[in-house]
Structure 1
Amino acid sequence: MVSQIAKQWSLAPAYVPAVSIQMQPFAATLLLLVGFLLTALFSITDKKGMSGLGKQIAIAIPASVSLGFGFVYLLCAVGVYV
């Protein structure tokens, strides 16, 4: 007797990643490069006053997101699927 969950599992479509396996090394390289460039820009940004804080936040958030996704794609590109 096959359970209802097993039937649904067998009928479900296969998982297709958003970024293909062949493109993961390129995506990792691009995202890490952008993240490191934004990090360098963050370190030389003027830090005085409220406008300096706004600039820092505007640079830090994209740098953090880019480095985060870049490291995940790097791990996936070398075979450590997270």
Structure 2
Amino acid sequence: MRKNKQKHQSGQTMVEYIIIVVIIAIAAIAIFGVFGDTIRAKLSGAVHEMDSGDHATAAEQALQKGSADWLKDMTKDGSK
């Protein structure tokens, strides 16, 4: 009798973990759906900035500013 109860609790725990993983996956998909275009634009602008040939000046500016300030100064498409 006791052995059956332990198996039942073990199966219940596994189901709970699966439910948590599914909820996290749904939340991640929803967040990416809402912010996907913004993320894509920011990354595109950042890559463009890195390809512009101003590597040294961009690196120096990044060291002088905090990351929050750097993100605030970016335009909607991710360029400076």
TM-score category of the 2 structures, normalised to the smaller one:
0.3 to 0.5
TM-score by length of 2: 0.43
Per the normalisation by structure 1, the TM-score is 0.42
> Normalized per residue, which structure has more helix?
2
